[in-house]
Structure 1
Amino acid sequence: MTEISSGKLSEHNGAPPDAKDHHAADRRAILMLLAAAVALHVLLAVTGLWRPLAWLAIVGSFVILVIVCERIGRMVPLRGRAAYERTLAFGFPALVLLLWQFAGDYGLINPTWFPQPSRIAAGLWDMTVRYDRFSETSLIGRPWLIPEYLARDGWAGVWNLLSESHVLATLGRVFVGFVLGAIPGILLGVVMGINQTVRLMLDTTLSAVYVLPKIAIFPIVMLIFANPFGEGPKILVVALAVFILMTINTMAGVRGIEKVYLMAGRNYGANGWQMMRHVIIPGAMPVIFAGLRIALGTAMIVIISVEFLRAKQGVGFITFYYWEVLNPEKMYAGLLVVMMLGVLLTYGLQALQRRMMPWQR
């Protein structure tokens, strides 16, 4: 009884005795690893070999950093695990940016073609606040002028203001194409998952079309529309890419449902609609949302590629434009905007997934 009480007391106060010993060993290992990293750089600096061996030293430091973070992760209590994982997720990109800045400042990389993050940030700021009078466009549509345009021209003026935005042009094409491709793709995938005849008829065709580069069929799509340079072809090629991915993923999700769930639904007397609503759709939903994430990334890739080729507005267009005029700071800023849009859209899709699948929280 005394042993049990002392064990509980020790666990309440912190880690068990053996865990504390492991933590002490981890702390000693962390100090030794950090000292080794510092000694490596000091030795190279003293001998004059740091610059020629800089990247080797940086790679060695990265390996040491990974080991140190592994050791720290062992000591993090359960209640601090989420904070530790967020620190790793956001801290490492910040460290990479600092290294990029340092490498550019000290000539380890060519700052002409790989400008420092500070220069890229300055380029992004200039793109954000500047209005291009030649193309009558801006990066985000100058939202700070909305009150002025609303008072002067009403909502039509606000729409004209926002319609100049490259970001909103890209997001609009992605959103419309994503919805137009995802909904019929999910519906057809469900049908193919539950009906063998339809699956056998379409599976080979979908597999053949899936491997085609979507940008390669863009010229064919342009021939379908009366205005081949309008928004229709851009949206349709995104919808086709999303449709094929969602059909294949949804079919796989429906076919992967555990048979015991289907048997339980039938044993409880569920009819076809009830089976679809309460068993098949919820059972396939994890795979469907995994497919939606892949399809969303594909939609972004496709629309940026299309905007490279045939657009006068959009994030892909300005990225390619600044490459053509040899302005690498703003070219990288355009790529940064693409990455930010991808992250924001992914987080939005994850929020929708948590709302539609509350049982997985």
Structure 2
Amino acid sequence: MTSATTDGPAPAGHREAPRRGRASGGDLRAGLLFLAAGAALNAALAAAGLWSDFAWPAIGASFVLLVLACERIGRLVPVKGRAAYERTLALGFPLLVLVLWELAADSGFINPTWFPPPSRIGAALWDLSTRYDRFSGTTLLGRPWLMPEAFSKEGWAGIWALVAESHVFATVARVLVGFVLGAIPGVLLGVVMGLNQTVRLMLDTTLSAIYVLPKIAIFPIVMLMFADPFGEAPKILVVGLSVFILMAINTMAAVRGIDRVYLMAGRNYGARGWSMLRHVILPGALPVIFSGLRIALGTAMIVIISVEFVRAKQGVGYMTFYYWEVLNPEKMYAGLVVVMILGVLLTYALQWLQRRLMPWQK
């Protein structure tokens, strides 16, 4: 009678657990070692009085060591905490840059006159947000704290008067109107160009040639098209043209890049004409179209800020350029901060729309 022996190879889980423990410990030690190396490098250069002479190589090496440390430490983050870890990286690094900027300005490493520290830029942004400019009759945000009183006295006319004085409202309105007026016909033309070779051959070269033109260069031509060349219509139209050309080219590439398997499957299920366009072509092209919309939105912001630099009396671009002219760098940088914030908020709004129109990507 043979008896079962208890000796034998250990279960796989018992072998893997120590290995994972050793790997985790190695990643942690490596991450801490990279951080310590970065701190030691900067401390040694500062102690020797050489940090200013080797500032940019030291900053580059410190960034590489920080990336390596974060990658090793990121391997230790459990799956449940991965999203929080990624948000920490996305928000923590910009905050670190702001802290270093503040320290560099206070220590005199950079000239605080032309590169004011974030604290002074923040104070300037607060002043712009709360102060009414009597010379131009404008504000940054439209003084929303006065809206309840204005509504009680003048109704919606009072609310609109406060909104109309806002630099942010002027810029956002121009961007959104021009973006919609350019994106919709651009997508439609791009679909036609993607499906019809004759139209594509006729228009592709022309659109490509116009695309490379600086949009600010065609703004004077656009001004000649309107009875009021200094009104809102030329500014909106140049934004719309920029978005239209970009979206036509992007959508054409999106339609032509659809996998032929999807088209064959649609035909096998009886899709023809409008049914094929609605259920196969547009859903297949939407991911690339939205990537183009995101680029087009950034282009629209760049174009309108450039136009406001040269021909506007209201808008974030005008405000930024005005404070450059009067040599007020804190408020000039505050204007640039507002532009970046608007870009982030508009991009998030576009991503929200993308999630609603493409729920299958979840």
TM-score range, shorter chain: over 0.9
Matches within 5 A, 1:202-221: 202-221=203-222
Shift of 1:7: 4.5
Q: Residue 115 of structure 2 corresponds to which residue in structure 1? A: 114
Relative distance call for 1:203 and 1:3 in structure 2 (3 A) is: farther
With 89-98 and 226-235 compared, the bigger mean Cα shift is at 89-98
Distance in 2, Cα, partners of 1:6 & 1:348: 51
Matches within 5 A, 1:39-188: 39-188=40-189
Q: Residue 31 of structure 1 corresponds to which residue in structure 2? A: 32
Q: Residue 329 of structure 1 corresponds to which residue in structure 2? A: 330
Distance in 2, Cα, partners of 1:133 & 1:291: 41
Q: Deviations over 1:131-154 (max 9, x none)?
A: 001110000100010001000111
Q: Residue 251 of structure 1 corresponds to which residue in structure 2? A: 252
AA in 2 matched with 1:117? P
AA in 1 matched with 2:233? G
With 151-160 and 257-266 compared, the bigger mean Cα shift is at 257-266
Distance in 2, Cα, partners of 1:92 & 1:295: 27
Distance in 1, Cα, partners of 2:297 & 2:228: 26
SS in 2 for 1:115: coil
Distance in 2, Cα, partners of 1:4 & 1:310: 80
Q: Residue 269 of structure 2 corresponds to which residue in structure 1? A: 268
**Gaps in structure 2 of 5+ consecutive residues:** 1-6
Distance in 1, Cα, partners of 2:52 & 2:130: 39
SS in 1 for 2:133: coil
Shift of 1:108: 0.4
Shift of 1:298: 0.3
Matches within 5 A, 1:225-244: 225-244=226-245
Shift of 1:200: 1.2
Distance in 2, Cα, partners of 1:296 & 1:4: 61
Distance in 2, Cα, partners of 1:286 & 1:163: 36
Poorly superposed stretches of 4+, deviation over 4 Å: 2-8
Shift of 1:52: 3.9
Distance in 1, Cα, partners of 2:9 & 2:234: 71
Q: Deviations over 1:14-47 (max 9, x none)?
A: x843222111111222232233233333333433
AA in 2 matched with 1:58? I
Relative distance call for 1:45 and 1:196 in structure 2 (3 A) is: closer
Q: Residue 315 of structure 1 corresponds to which residue in structure 2? A: 316
Distance in 2, Cα, partners of 1:6 & 1:156: 77
Q: Residue 197 of structure 2 corresponds to which residue in structure 1? A: 196
**Gaps in structure 1 of 5+ consecutive residues:** none
Q: Residue 294 of structure 2 corresponds to which residue in structure 1? A: 293
Q: Residue 302 of structure 1 corresponds to which residue in structure 2? A: 303
Q: Residue 281 of structure 1 corresponds to which residue in structure 2? A: 282
SS in 2 for 1:114: coil
Relative distance call for 1:280 and 1:142 in structure 2 (3 A) is: same
Shift of 1:55: 4.2
Relative distance call for 1:122 and 1:271 in structure 2 (3 A) is: same
Q: Deviations over 1:70-95 (max 9, x none)?
A: 11122222222211111111111111
Relative distance call for 1:220 and 1:65 in structure 2 (3 A) is: same
AA in 2 matched with 1:342? G
Distance in 1, Cα, partners of 2:8 & 2:45: 54
TM-score, normalisation: structure 2: 0.94
With 29-38 and 311-320 compared, the bigger mean Cα shift is at 29-38
Distance in 2, Cα, partners of 1:115 & 1:135: 25
Give the number of aligned pairs. Answer: 357
Shift of 1:56: 3.8
Distance in 1, Cα, partners of 2:43 & 2:26: 26
Shift of 1:199: 1.0
TM-score, normalisation: structure 1: 0.95
